[in-house]
Structure 1
């Protein structure tokens, strides 16, 4: 299937919910479960795994319990701030997509203003915790990730450009670095390698989802790469990012406290993902291929974060 949506046309017909709250903000009838959903708790927990992995490998398994707690809770608040603000801003798009139309804001179960202030509150609380109970550098990185996710990705590029999944990947790569800096208080070689690794993981992961939901995104007028350029172009982009992770796997071996366990595991999974990406050009069912790619990306991330956590206990 090939679809074409011109970015300029898309941008012109997507309203700005920040300026035009409209009737979507008029029904404060939601339950506490609805408030939990706007925090996208699954995404928050997944990011907590990367935060802990970054902190644990930086400390070689020696981080104190209070540092771990404050780093995790502070980062979680900043991430939930981003998800709340994302739900607030995207409520006009979400009502046009089958996958998201029943969410609490587009369906009218929550008052949009309440969600806005919930996001602001999480941002303030998380930043204060990280600044005074962890270190200012980690708090600053959290604000960078929040700005990228809310302003650069959600408010701007998601509505206007196929590059949204690339630049939005910055926010997804920041949490693991925050874990590292929580202990090291330094943007050193290890921090940058972790950032590059997670940054390169983001686009093929989200592009696989975009292929699966291309029709939905097209109806909502969101100019993601599969919608604008088609599946073959998207597959080529995915291959480039997966291939880019392989040399990073070698460089990660030079990061303090990272050993052969990570190197071998990342290369095996990385080459497996690359082979599967190439298989995509021969797949008869692209949607099924994309579904497996998406699942594989989650397995890749989960396994390698677990390996990073185990590295301090493995001496080979």
Structure 2
């Protein structure tokens, strides 16, 4: 049994960020690059890939250019709203973690109030674009994802429960569905299957990162699964989600416009991830294994998203 990473009392370490003063520095010196960092541009771009995959799959490669543009820009703004608000709320936690202490807010380079209003502005702009230039359902889904990410995950469960990773998976699964509904305008079989697939992908992806950063999360008092329950329990949770994801990815072949290329790729990559998860129970270097698992999860998502995009031409 591997050693559980112990954190100090979470309740005493995690304060209420909303009640804290805005900037941590009297003279913020942030540049435009700092404002870009609070949007977590890498996360936004990765989500745009899944949005486009959902849209292109739903339309069988026939979506109009203006619909693609408004769907991508509207969804990107909503996602960036979530990342800005996440940075604002988590600034007290971030200053206690090595990998986040130099971010613009905990280091005092940006005024927290400015980031708060930037997030609110992005949310309003993105919602308006999606409502009037795409369709109301897609805008509503964006708001659901934003609420879960900001309120349920960031403000509440991340600071109090090991289930935060699971609930956070809801918001992570919404973008690909928004791409689908942007074209179809309805939550049909394809939309629900895409949601379930992406929801099951989220926990093993993030838990691999959580294992790598367990010591850092423990110091910040964040009760993630590897911090509270240890690595072995975390591995068992990861394999459960991967085991459930594989048959779901197989059933996604029933979605209209899916083809044999997707079916073959999903089975190869899915069973590859399952095998990697099983290996995790016998490896000597869990941190190295978690790093490989994290990278594999990104490769899995990227390859299958690309296959969904090119499927109409195969």
TM-score, normalization by structure 2: 0.98
| Structure 2 match to 1:31 | 31
| Structure 1 match to 2:258 | 258
| Structure 2 match to 1:121 | 121
| Structure 1 match to 2:294 | 294
- Separation in 2 of the partners of 1:142 and 1:119? 14
Residues 28 and 108 in structure 1, CA contact (< 8 A), matched pair in contact too: yes
- Separation in 2 of the partners of 1:224 and 1:62? 42
1:22 is displaced (CA, Å) by 5.8
Residues 5 and 223 in structure 1, CA contact (< 8 A), matched pair in contact too: no
Residues 2 and 230 in structure 1, CA contact (< 8 A), matched pair in contact too: yes
| Structure 2 match to 1:210 | 210
Q: How does 1:135-174 map to 2 (within 5 A)?
A: 135-174=135-174
- Separation in 2 of the partners of 1:104 and 1:82? 16
1:11 is displaced (CA, Å) by 2.8
Identify unmatched segments of 5+ residues in structure 1. none
1:3 is displaced (CA, Å) by 2.5
1:5 is displaced (CA, Å) by 4.6
- Separation in 1 of the partners of 2:91 and 2:291? 26
CA RMSD of aligned residues (A): 1.2
SS of match in other structure, 1:257: coil
Count of equivalent residues: 313
| Structure 2 match to 1:41 | 41
Residues 169 and 199 in structure 2, CA contact (< 8 A), matched pair in contact too: yes
| Structure 2 match to 1:71 | 71
SS of match in other structure, 2:100: coil
1:309 is displaced (CA, Å) by 0.2
| Structure 2 match to 1:111 | 111
Residues 78 and 123 in structure 1, CA contact (< 8 A), matched pair in contact too: yes
Higher mean alpha-carbon deviation, 258-267 vs 9-18, is at 9-18
Q: Cα distance 1:15–1:25, how it changes in 2: closer, same or farther (>3 A)?
A: farther
Q: Please tell me whether residue 130 in structure 1 is matched to residue 130 in structure 2.
A: yes
- Separation in 1 of the partners of 2:7 and 2:105? 28
1:6 is displaced (CA, Å) by 7.4
Q: Cα distance 1:23–1:79, how it changes in 2: closer, same or farther (>3 A)?
A: closer
SS of match in other structure, 2:258: coil
Identify unmatched segments of 5+ residues in structure 2. none
SS of match in other structure, 2:18: coil
Q: Cα distance 1:23–1:30, how it changes in 2: closer, same or farther (>3 A)?
A: closer
- Separation in 1 of the partners of 2:26 and 2:261? 53
- Separation in 2 of the partners of 1:139 and 1:22? 30
Q: Cα distance 1:186–1:253, how it changes in 2: closer, same or farther (>3 A)?
A: same
- Separation in 1 of the partners of 2:271 and 2:80? 33
Higher mean alpha-carbon deviation, 241-250 vs 292-301, is at 241-250
Q: How does 1:222-301 map to 2 (within 5 A)?
A: 222-301=222-301
Q: Please tell me whether residue 2 in structure 1 is matched to residue 3 in structure 2.
A: yes
Could you list the per-position Cα deviations for residues 61-82 of structure 1 after superposition, in whole angstroms to 9, with x for gaps in the alignment?
0000000000000000000000
1:219 is displaced (CA, Å) by 0.1
1:25 is displaced (CA, Å) by 6.0
SS of match in other structure, 2:287: helix
